[in-house]
Structure 1
Amino acid sequence: MSKSAFFRFYGELNDFLPSQKGQQQVRYEFSGSPAIKDAIQALGVPQVEVFLIQVNGEPTDFAYNINIDDQVSVYPLITKFTVEENPIQRKPILGLRFVLDCHLGKLARHLRMLGFDTLYRNDIHDDEIVKLAELEDRIVLTRDLAILKCNAVTHGYYPRSQDPEKQLEEIITRFDLMSHIRPFSRCMDCNGYLENVEKELITHKLEPLTRSHFDEFLQCDGCGKVYWKGSHYERMCERLGWE
């Protein structure tokens, strides 16, 4: 016999629901006594996006087993709603390190440009992303909801925009990155560290206009690529509101 519970998702969690089900109560039919985490993800919302769950007005965790006619409220990570105790306990993020799926190459370059340890390959597989997230405490950024629904993924985010610069703004806001930005400390191509290098040592790699207009350079300790603070850097500063 089918049983029902009733879910209401708040804020940006509605981004994961069909438009006809968003911003309203959703009936969830079930048999047995499924965990509330499974129900939330079956309705389309990945658990990493959830901050707080209330059942019949009381906070609960992901292991709670749904009962008939439960009234469930689910709140996103970014919310003005506060509680004294939240049963959902997440493993703390030990470092702001990221791993991205194969569709987010431009976002990966932007994050590296701001100095964040960002793993990305255009041939990386889903299971490798999950493994790296688990073993190296990395935050998963992906537009593949199946990855974010894996139990091993404890921290992640689904960029709403498809524009890389707007995606970057989303990530900076979500993970409060502004105070952690260290521009031009990592290579945009390989994620290696950048080190100061004397102009004389890399002159042969520079175009004539670059040689004549710039004197300070950085070089990747991995792939050897050379960087300088040109127009790309200036556009980034302007977008982030830096002097």
Structure 2
Amino acid sequence: MNGPEIHVGFAPGLHVFVPQARRHGATAVATDGVSTLGHVVESLGVPLTEVGALNVDGRPVPASHVPAAGETVTVAPVDRPQRVPGAPLRFLLDVHLGTLARRLRLLGVDAAYESTDIGDPALAARSAAEKRVMLSRDRGLLRRRELWAGAFVYSTRPEDQLRDVLERFAPELRPWTRCTACNGVLERATKEQVADRLKGGTERSYDVFAQCRACHRVYWKGAHHEQLEAIVNRALAEHG
């Protein structure tokens, strides 16, 4: 770009996406005089999924605004909690976020997950077809125009990832209602209904069971229940 020069400043919440030199005040950026402000912001490293208000010389503008020479742009992060209009709040996670997907499902949040790398075009197409918010750490994926909605997952630690998603979107939490394996809905099951899938020790020791309507996986309060319960209780205390 070698056209009109503008000045762009990013809020601290977006500094993770921009070089150190652009993190302090508004810095000069050469544009081509044709590209939209949204395109300019993304060319500087910030996916539009992470952008909230765009202001030019103190007035709000849309991402479709074409910058003119001398304008000063301030870029703010999305408001939290972020509202996603037009469909029930549902998520789609890429292949790298399996633990986060299972924890969201544990809390009863509708979280589809691709366990294999099906490629960015297919993920974006599924997001659009099913109206799911795409969660990913892949900035290139989040810049795809066919996405219905998306959000960058800022941390690599599952605990922080979960906290970030719950804080950002404030989904309704309904723990123990979804299958952590396939995202299906759980229903109560009697011991007789699931007896053929229980080992002897489990059948003797437990009486309360649930079963996934989709994949028929059976659940009970087994050896890992206390660990899972701690995750649930922490999420409810902070975001319930």
CA distance in 2 between partners of 1:47 and 1:19 (Å): 20
Q: Which residue of 2 aligns with 1:219?
A: 211
Q: Which residue of 2 aligns with 1:19?
A: 20
Per-residue CA deviations over 1:137-161 (Å, capped at 9, x if unaligned) read 1101001101111222242111111
Say which SS state the counterpart of residue 20 (structure 1) adopts: helix
CA distance in 2 between partners of 1:197 and 1:175 (Å): 32
CA distance in 2 between partners of 1:214 and 1:105 (Å): 28
Q: Is 1:113 matched up with 2:114?
A: no
After superposition, where does 1:1-243 map in structure 2 within 5 Å?
2-78=3-79, 92-123=85-116, 124-177=118-171, 180-229=172-221, 230-242=225-237
When residues 104 and 91 of structure 1 are mapped into structure 2, their CA distance, relative to the original with a 3 A threshold, is: closer
Quick check: 44-53 or 214-223, which moved more? Answer: 214-223
Say which SS state the counterpart of residue 195 (structure 1) adopts: strand
Quick check: 144-153 or 232-241, which moved more? Answer: 232-241
Deviation at residue 69 of structure 1 after TM alignment:
1.2
CA distance in 1 between partners of 2:187 and 2:80 (Å): 40
Aligned AA for 1:43?
A: L
Moved over 4 A (4+): none
Say which SS state the counterpart of residue 111 (structure 1) adopts: helix
Say which SS state the counterpart of residue 41 (structure 2) adopts: helix
Deviation at residue 93 of structure 1 after TM alignment:
4.2
CA distance in 2 between partners of 1:208 and 1:227 (Å): 15
Quick check: 204-213 or 108-117, which moved more? Answer: 204-213
The unaligned stretches of length 5 or more in structure 1 are 81-89
CA contact under 8 A between 1:48 and 1:153: conserved in structure 2? no
CA distance in 1 between partners of 2:232 and 2:109 (Å): 16
Residue-pair matches, total: 232
Quick check: 24-33 or 157-166, which moved more? Answer: 24-33
Deviation at residue 212 of structure 1 after TM alignment:
4.4
CA distance in 1 between partners of 2:68 and 2:123 (Å): 35
The unaligned stretches of length 5 or more in structure 2 are none
Quick check: 203-212 or 90-99, which moved more? Answer: 203-212
Q: Once superposed, what is the RMSD of the aligned Cα atoms?
A: 2.2
CA contact under 8 A between 2:132 and 2:148: conserved in structure 1? no
CA contact under 8 A between 2:175 and 2:232: conserved in structure 1? no
Say which SS state the counterpart of residue 146 (structure 1) adopts: helix
Say which SS state the counterpart of residue 103 (structure 1) adopts: coil
Quick check: 131-140 or 167-176, which moved more? Answer: 131-140
When residues 220 and 127 of structure 1 are mapped into structure 2, their CA distance, relative to the original with a 3 A threshold, is: same
Aligned AA for 1:239?
A: R
Deviation at residue 114 of structure 1 after TM alignment:
1.2
CA contact under 8 A between 1:101 and 1:126: conserved in structure 2? no
Aligned AA for 1:67?
A: A
When residues 139 and 184 of structure 1 are mapped into structure 2, their CA distance, relative to the original with a 3 A threshold, is: same
CA contact under 8 A between 1:13 and 1:75: conserved in structure 2? yes
CA contact under 8 A between 1:101 and 1:142: conserved in structure 2? yes
When residues 214 and 22 of structure 1 are mapped into structure 2, their CA distance, relative to the original with a 3 A threshold, is: farther
CA contact under 8 A between 1:141 and 1:156: conserved in structure 2? yes
The normalised TM-score by structure 1 is 0.87
